[in-house]
Chains A and B, each alone.
Chain A
Amino acid sequence: MAKTALKAGSRFKSAVSDAQVMIVKAPAGEFELGCGGIAMVGGTAAAPEGVALAAGDAGEVLIGKRYVNADESLEMLCTKGGKGTLSLDGVALEIKQAKQLPSSD
């Protein structure tokens, strides 16, 4: 994928594994989302052929975890787990601390 605008609610899938994410919030502008070193694919687009997980990427995207960039201006949620490290413009994303439990429901 070329650089694209990221909007809250848009979904992306990994080109090299089962991983899928949904954008929770994103900064304005255009970016490239990656997984396993390869650009992720938007929504219903078909995955490119002949691509593979970057050698040496032992990362794994975990379902239910939220991932953020350094200043937390980008946040996305993994909706399906899979291999590969998530990245924004080539910089790896990190897992965000789990949400505090509610005090009641």
Chain B
Amino acid sequence: MATALTTNLAETFAKRLLNELGAQPLRDVRVDDSHPALIWARSGLMSLTGFADGAPLMCPLPVAACANGALAALASLAPEGALNDLNGAALLAERGAIAEHTRKGTTSPGGSCRLLKTRDGQIALNLARDDDQALLPAWLEDESVVDEASMLIAIQKQTMHDLVERGRLLGLAVAPVVPPPSAITPWHTVTHVGERAMRRASPRVLDLSSLWAGPLCTHLLQRCGADVIKVESTQRPDGARRGPPQFFDLLNARKRSVALDLSKETGRAQLCALIAQADIVIEASRPRALRQMNIHAEKLIDENPGLTWVSLNGYGRKDPEENWIAYGDDAGVAGGLSYLMREASGESVIVGDAIADPLTGLHAALAAFVCHRQGGGRLLSLALTDVVRHCVQFDRPTNAESLKQRQREWTELAQGNIGEPQMRAAPVQARELGADTVAVLASWGIAC
């Protein structure tokens, strides 16, 4: 049978990640050896992909198997059994279960990202913030754009290139529907090297991130024995606090909550003092946002030997890419998923639910855990787009014809195995914003 696999792709992927990090697993990599098509179908991702009035769609790339591989790589290093009850592919779909998301074709399950027609192709536009609407006249250089209908008309008159370039300048999450590059994209980059030093065996983690990728990363690190402090700005707390409480609780349960006024010098000094006593920092800000607060990752790594700093971003930390923003759905598009779905099935669709977010969270947990064990002293950059590209390039068929054929075969294999997204329950509620500020600052000897 043409679909029989001689290798376990998830295991191959796990070993590749470990190898790239120079990590020696503590035990064998153990991973579900199901066919990638079945992993996709059972995870709930298939149910979240496709048109509302059409069948769930197969992704002809082993993205769900890659998620299993990333989790298995982490489990091979983590305390025995720490991650046994988790399934990497299911983690990619669980927000969909909690938020009761459904597939919407060219619109993301969460509703904020859409694939739109331009004069010469398609773009993904993710208007996740309420304020983004106010940028539309400037983006389209058209003050008559006041509503949905006028926006769609204006977009059709312009080129992908102009729309993407101007959108990025304005800080909109916009991406062209393009194929992934054929050359292998590294999924992480070391952008600064400091001194190695062995730190606490069970790391103290400062999580400065928000939404999904970063919080999932620190949730996994917590499962591996880390002590996680979630640090938020009193003025701009994690927006996920306003989303479904079950989802926020699931990712943030048992993390202590510290809230600092980062608009003031005192708050910034407190943050630097916290960082100086942490082993791992996870953040997802644009580099300039931290720099403008006088928080320089490179300098803090130099001053704190052994510190592991993970920067989660849309497109990397180089100029100008460091200024481009991305959310999970548009980063999936930028990584090539929607283009390849069109090549395979004839229809551009959003693949999964903010898929780059949880996929990056999984990879980030692995990278952070390994770097810490190796003595830290590194600034690691993980770009959502690069993580998706790296998964897409892994076992990608060489041409459009074989991609189409694989999609037909994998779709057939999945029949009778298509599951809905499943949710885990949070063990306890997450802490209220700032509930542990005083206690953490006091116990770490930092002035309030």
Contact = CB atoms under 8 A, between A and B. Distances in A.
A and B bound?
yes
Contact of A105 (B140, B242, B328): B328
Given A22-B169, A62-B292, A77-B171, A103 B242 contact: yes
B313 to A, nearest CB: 14
Interface string B301-326: 00000000000000000000001000
A105 B113 contact: yes
A9 interface: yes
Interface string B207-250: 00011100000000000000000000001111111110000000
Given A9-B137, A9-B140, A22-B138, A105 B166 contact: no
Main SS of chain A's interface residues? Answer: loop
Interface residues of B, number: 46
Contacts of A64: 171, 286, 288-289, 292, 323
Contacts of B149: none
B388 to A, nearest CB: 14
A100 B239 CA distance: 8
Contacts of B95: 104
B401 interface: no
B374 to A, nearest CB: 32
A13 to B, nearest CB: 13
A104 B128 contact: yes
Contacts of B279: none
B134 A9 contact: no
Nearest to B232: A101
Interface centre among B99, B113, B143 (most CB of A within 10 A): B143
Contact of A99 (B129, B211, B212): B129
Nearest to B140: A9
A25 B138 contact: yes
B243 A104 contact: yes
A51 interface: no
Contacts, number: 97
Nearest to A76: B138
Given A105-B110, A105-B328, A100 B323 contact: no
Interface in B113-151: 113, 126, 128-131, 134-135, 137-143
A73 B110 CA distance: 32
Contacts of B286: 64
A103 B239 contact: yes
Interface centre among B137, B140, B241, B354 (most CB of A within 10 A): B137
A79 interface: yes
A104 B131 contact: no
Contacts of A97: 235
B99 to A, nearest CB: 7
A8 B138 contact: yes
A47 B126 CA distance: 36
B242 A22 contact: no
A53 interface: no
B410 interface: no
A35 to B, nearest CB: 17
A50 interface: no
B141 A8 contact: yes
B327 A101 contact: no
B292 to A, nearest CB: 6
Interface in A73-105: 75, 77, 79, 97-105
Contacts of B323: 63-64
A10 B110 CA distance: 32
A103 B357 CA distance: 14
A98 to B, nearest CB: 6
17 contacts: A8-B137, A8-B142, A9-B139, A9-B140, A10-B141, A24-B134, A24-B135, A25-B134, A62-B288, A62-B292, A77-B138, A77-B169, A77-B171, A101-B210, A101-B238, A102-B128, A105-B113
